[in-house]
A and B are shown apart, each in its own frame.
Chain A
Amino acid sequence: MDKPLTRNIKADGSVATLEDYRQSGGYEGLRKALSGHTPLEIQQQVKDSGLRGRGGAGFPTGAKWSFVPMGENAPATKYLVANADEMEPGTFKDRLLMEGDPHQLIEGVIISAYAIQASSAYIFLRGEYHLAARRIREAIAEAYENRYLGAHILGSDFSLELHLHTSAGRYICGEETALINALEGKRATPRAKPPFPQAAGLFGKPTIVNNVETLSNIPHIVNLGVEWYKSLSRSADTGTKLYGVSGRVKRPAIWELPLGVTAREIIEEHAGGMRGGFQLRGFMPGGASTDFLLPEHLDVPMDYGSVGKVGSRLGTGTMILLDDKTCPVEMVLNLERFFAQESCGWCTPCRDGLPWVATLLEDLLAGRGRAEDLATLEWMCSFLGPGNTFCALAPGAMEPLQSALKYFRADFEKYLPQPALTGGVHA
């Protein structure tokens, strides 16, 4: 099975060198793009490949690029930004790509910048990824030395400057318009759209923000072709995906697998199943802001369409497991405290609603809950849901809550004070 994204990732955690990367076909995609393809042809290839954004939303990458103004009347300055702000709880896949094979990301950035004719690019890296920062910095320097970056890349007409920006915390920086504000040296609050970043983004110029894993796919699509890329997956969604499992399994880790493998294969075969003494009660398919699914969903293919059909999202593809020794209500409280803390405070439903949700859950767990609190929590799920906020943070925060209320209702109810007549002791 072909694993293009991780073929150079070493088991001992050391970095793939420029030489390692070249020997596996590295920078061949860039050479092909610059010598034989127009920017619009590269855009078309990526569109035809079916690649969907790997940051969590799954938006088709080629379609995203197609909104960038091109041609002679397009602004002279455009930007390509790599979203390396991996902060979705439960997600640890981009770290692997950046620490293990930084040149793959850099080549992806260069080809993507060529495709939209950007003259500057930034890698926006979360501040805590110190090892990735060191390795990316070294790889960028090597890329300049070898004329993969700078003026007239590989003797072509295309020039690109690439800078690494290390951030200073806050989950909201992963939201692409908040990221743009952060890169401009501002508070990371999301922007109202329109205008979309493709028209007016970083410093008011056309800007594309793509996730690290998304960009790491680009060199392979250009080098090995659309048909090869489409042959990698087991579903309508193309390519491979970095899948991860954390929680109480025998071997928590990341694996590159064809898009469309089932959750069962990932959890039981690759992660080795549950640890002794623990049963699977549920799982979040792709990070903290995806709806819980149940063991009955284990045979659902983990692709964008199939996971959507059963009421959740593939998200980042890194699953968090809920086991039978963990209280789902306490788990949801941990998640909602995270989202409440990380709200940027820009819009009211999120800023005021999320702490309210957390407080209701705290009260419930402390035995101070009231019967109507569960209805209030359900009301919050729609009030903080899609369409009421500037960005997806609050709607994302409601996904674990609404699904937990649906699937683990009895766990919530058992914390409610019981009427004296029923009188039972509830464990």
Chain B
Amino acid sequence: MNLSPAEIEAIRAEAGRYPEKSAAVIDALKIVQRRRGWVSDDSVDAIAGLLGMSAAQVDSVASFYNLIYREPVGRKVIHYCNSVVCWMQGAEQNREFISRCLGIDAGETGADGEYTLLPIVCLGACDKAPVLMIAEETYFNVDQTALKRILDDGGQGDG
């Protein structure tokens, strides 16, 4: 079994919130990813076993949702919004700046494994465009000065 006792306990608690335990599969994928950074084939198999599903069923779900990573990502994932309002107000210029600073393109992870850069759809903060999200922090009105500070702080800023 690939899952830790803590993961199994957390997944079972989520499964108890639904009349069918397979309904907790998205919660289970998020629980595993929170601890491991991504969802491996072994994790898919283990979740399938725990929730009474086939591995293919679990993977059909895991591969559908963009916040579930089916391949390794950096320790921090930068999600920059590229939807319409952020696009209008400098999202692509910010993306270019991040790419230059970190030496990675959208969709890539740096060689040191620190950052992965991914576009994301509208983050629902269009009055403060452009915005991006790192882990659970959303950063508003992001320009190059802010980006420099965010990257220097290692994405641990106060959003």
Contact = CB atoms under 8 A, between A and B. Distances in A.
Interface in A338-357: 338, 341-342, 344
Interface string B47-67: 000010000000011001111
A197 B43 CA distance: 33
B136 A246 contact: no
A243 to B, nearest CB: 12
Given A92-B127, A288-B83, A168 B136 contact: no
B126 A92 contact: yes
B44 interface: no
A170 B83 contact: no
**Which DSSP category, helix, strand, loop or mixed, fits chain B's interface?**
mixed
A318 interface: yes
A287 B142 CA distance: 22
Contacts of B18: 184-185, 203
A245 B123 CA distance: 15
A166 interface: yes
Contacts of A188: 64-65
B66 A203 contact: no
Contacts of B126: 89-92, 244, 246, 252, 318, 320
A326 B68 CA distance: 34
B125 interface: yes
A247 B90 CA distance: 11
Contact of B122 (A90, A170, A186, A254): A90
B124 A95 contact: yes
A170 B66 contact: yes
Contacts of A89: 83-85, 121-122, 126
Contact of B88 (A166, A254, A326): A326
Nearest to A88: B122
Contacts of A342: 121
B19 to A, nearest CB: 5
Contact of B83 (A129, A186, A334): A334
Interface string A94-123: 110000000000000000000000000000
B121 A87 contact: yes
Contacts, number: 132
A197 to B, nearest CB: 16
A167 B121 CA distance: 14
B29 interface: yes
A168 B26 CA distance: 7
Contacts of B84: 89-90, 288, 320, 331, 334-335, 338
B23 interface: yes
Contact of B120 (A128, A130, A163, A318): A128
B95 interface: no
Nearest to B24: A185
B85 A90 contact: yes
B30 A168 contact: yes
Nearest to A166: B30
Contact of A247 (B25, B79, B85): B85
Pick the most buried of B17, B30, B85: most chain A CB atoms within 10 A of its CB: B85
A171 B124 contact: no
A131 B123 CA distance: 13
Given A89-B121, A168-B65, A254 B127 contact: yes
Nearest to A132: B124
A182 B26 contact: yes
Interface string A207-245: 000000000000000000000000000000000000011
Contacts of B125: 92, 95
B64 A187 contact: yes
| A-B CB proximity, top 9 nearest | A246-B126, A168-B65, A252-B127, A169-B66, A89-B122, A130-B136, A169-B67, A185-B25, A185-B23
Interface of A: 77, 86-92, 94-95, 126-131, 163, 165-171, 182-188, 203, 244-248, 252-254, 288, 318, 320, 326, 331, 334-335, 338, 341-342, 344
20 contacts: A94-B124, A95-B124, A127-B30, A129-B124, A130-B136, A131-B138, A165-B26, A167-B65, A169-B65, A169-B67, A169-B120, A169-B121, A184-B23, A185-B22, A185-B51, A187-B60, A203-B20, A245-B127, A248-B89, A334-B82
